[in-house]
Structure 1
Amino acid sequence: MTGGRPARGRRPDLKQVRAGLPSELGAAVDDFERHLTAERGLSAHTVRGYLADVVSLLSHLSGLAGDAGVRALDVSVLREWLSTQHAAGASRSTLARRTASARAFTGWAFRAGLLPGDPGPRLSVPSQRRALPAVLRADQADDAMRASGSGAEQGDPVALRDHAMVEVLYATGVRVAELCGLDVDDVDRERRVLRVIGKGDKERAVPYGAPADEALGRWLSAGRPKLVREPANAALFLGVRGGRLNPRAVRRTVHDAVGAVDGAPDLGPHGLRHSAATQLLEGGADLRSVQELLGHATLATTQLYTHVTVERLKAIHDRTHPRS
């Protein structure tokens, strides 16, 4: 079938839609991209997400106002754009994300002098129904760690690497991009602390425990020297060709390790991050400490990211309520 509406489930090509914008709107997208990258220091993945939403918004604006430019963007246009997204079947979480992208763009456009005022704050954020994500129990996590080290006993460098990185992910709760960005000098084995560069190029110190330290020590002494090709390569974790490890390889390794555990949910690196945070809370850690470890900018993000088990709530009730 030719022409008409694109097939359901297929997204319009971002480059094509962006190229079809009027010149003023296209220039605004370019300037906004530089702002996100250079001034806010966001990751390439996050920038792509913002730009996809903003290009969609400005394409809608162009269809309504032709060559009127960014100044024609007001709250009625924003609401109509979101309404078309809702009618097309966008989920609550998608609408909330697109609302946040639109607000970021209008706030920047106002500060840049492209808008006489900022209509973004008048745009309400759709409420989201959040399902609690699956996490590993402590015993399942132990089994996954053992599964990740099944080939390490024979001294295989890839097995040593995989075991070390899975242990580090679970011990620290770092993001997969943060793990892949680690250099050898970011590891302080004497203090058992990692220096992590997170979102927005913010640096934080993240402690890790003895099992992760043991796995790291074996990787650094017996595994990494067999894979490194260039002595100047500072990356902590390496691929089989000697370059910095790709996040895809990390995800595959984590899926394999967790998949070897009977009854465990199918999780990737982010699932290990969530499992670590959940078990910290279950063990008595306060939200502020977990926020610091995870590198969240606000406590609200940590509250949404973690959940406390019913058993922990019952234990608190038993200890503190006078009629428990």
Structure 2
Amino acid sequence: MKDLITHFIHYLTVERGLAKNTLESYQRDLTAYCTYVREEGFTDINQTTRAQIMGYLMRLQEQGRATATISRNVASIRAFYQFLLREKITDKDPSVNLESPKIEKKLPQVLSVTEVETLLNGPDAHMPAGMRDKAMLELLYATGIRVSELVSLNLADVNLAMGFIKCFGKGSKERIIPLGRLAIENVRGYIERSRPLLKKRGSDEALFLNHHGRRLSRQGFWKIIKKYAQVANSNKEVTPHTLRHSFATHLLENGADLRSVQEMLGHADISTTQIYTHVTKTRLKEVYAKAHPRA
């Protein structure tokens, strides 16, 4: 079964071109599922039944796993069996009609414009690392890109003269996103004055570098944004994704159309973007409740 998972991951990589993080999720979910199946005494994929899958999902539930995690496991298992059926490795699909647990859609945490400004003003732009941090935060809020896309940016992906960046999202899909004046100024300042001091013998192409001169990692940026959230004394849970949510919400609040926001965020389905319309409606209700004398 381990070889079958490897075969499946290779198919997802070559044929579907899925992102690295997605591939790792499939690998992790299916490895755990197959370990459970072996513990139950099944070594042949053709022996597994719906009962084994349900037993595995129940174990995840007993372990206190989140509904989203269980739902993702169902999707991984379903895709795996469909692949095996299509490749004629098995003649049955025990995952047919397997229902995913319903996930309660939570509205994303969003910062107000004032809270964003406080966060973005946290770094000391007189220091090389502070100048880099300021440029990253400004760029993240200006474009709404994911943190994985941010740390993957190369110098060649940034066109400050024309005012845009090029990034590769999920499924290696390329998109072009405009930059605002403040983001351009801070990224240019970082490239001209801070990056040469951080570079040392490190990467020639990576845009954002750590203190070793190598490409900054996702974990590295996570620590950076947590530090500035503490400096800003934010009582909200601030993550790299918080600026992405704030970017989308603030655009819609100021009249941007949903299709344009969808394109900038890199959402394949507009229904994913529509959650931000619910956020803006919620915020409107809050403003009304506070401002109207008879609310």
TM-score for the superposition, normalised by structure 2: 0.87
Partner of 1:31: 7
Partner of 2:165: 194
> Could you tell me how far apart the structure 2 residues matched to 1:285 and 1:229 are?
42
SS of alignment partner, residue 195 of structure 1: strand
Task: Find the partner of 1:249 among 205, 215, 220.
Answer: 220
Gaps of 5+ in 2: 288-295
Task: Find the partner of 2:262 among 275, 288, 291.
Answer: 291
Partner of 2:100: 125
Q: 1:103 to 1:285 in 2, by over 3 A?
A: farther
Partner of 2:149: 178
SS of alignment partner, residue 176 of structure 2: strand
SS of alignment partner, residue 165 of structure 2: strand
Amino acid at match of 2:261: V
Amino acid at match of 1:30: T
Q: 1:314 to 1:84 in 2, by over 3 A?
A: closer
- Is 1:282–1:312's contact at 8 Å kept on the other side of the alignment? no
> Could you tell me how far apart the structure 2 residues matched to 1:164 and 1:88 are?
41
Q: 1:86 to 1:249 in 2, by over 3 A?
A: closer
Residue 235 in 1 paired to residue 210 in 2?
Answer: no
- Is 2:202–2:213's contact at 8 Å kept on the other side of the alignment? no
- Is 2:262–2:270's contact at 8 Å kept on the other side of the alignment? yes
% identity of equivalent residues: 34
Amino acid at match of 1:86: Q
Partner of 1:19: none
* Structure 1 residues 192-231: aligned runs within 5 Å: 192-230=163-201
> Could you tell me how far apart the structure 2 residues matched to 1:289 and 1:42 are?
24
Partner of 1:53: 29
CA distances 1:129-157 after superposition (whole Å, capped 9, x unpaired): 23323221111101111113xx21x3x22
> Could you tell me how far apart the structure 1 residues matched to 2:173 and 2:69 are?
27
Q: CA deviation at 1:264?
A: 4.2
CA distances 1:179-238 after superposition (whole Å, capped 9, x unpaired): 111111111112211100111111111112111011011111111122223597111111
> Could you tell me how far apart the structure 2 residues matched to 1:139 and 1:314 are?
16
Amino acid at match of 2:174: E
Amino acid at match of 2:87: A
Q: CA deviation at 1:268?
A: 2.0
* Structure 1 residues 272-291: aligned runs within 5 Å: 272-291=243-262
Q: 1:87 to 1:221 in 2, by over 3 A?
A: closer
Q: State the superposition RMSD in angstroms.
A: 2.4
> Could you tell me how far apart the structure 2 residues matched to 1:304 and 1:112 are?
37
> Could you tell me how far apart the structure 1 residues matched to 2:286 and 2:64 are?
40
Q: 110-119 or 276-285, which moves further after superposition?
A: 110-119
CA distances 1:238-268 after superposition (whole Å, capped 9, x unpaired): 1112111122221122122222224441312
Amino acid at match of 2:192: S
> Could you tell me how far apart the structure 2 residues matched to 1:97 and 1:66 are?
23
Q: CA deviation at 1:162?
A: 0.9
Q: 240-249 or 72-81, which moves further after superposition?
A: 72-81
Q: 1:100 to 1:247 in 2, by over 3 A?
A: same
Q: 1:235 to 1:87 in 2, by over 3 A?
A: closer
Residue 310 in 1 paired to residue 258 in 2?
Answer: no
Aligned pairs, how many? 287
SS of alignment partner, residue 105 of structure 2: coil
Q: 1:76 to 1:251 in 2, by over 3 A?
A: same
Amino acid at match of 2:141: Y
Q: CA deviation at 1:314?
A: 9.0
SS of alignment partner, residue 165 of structure 1: helix
Amino acid at match of 2:227: D
Amino acid at match of 2:6: D
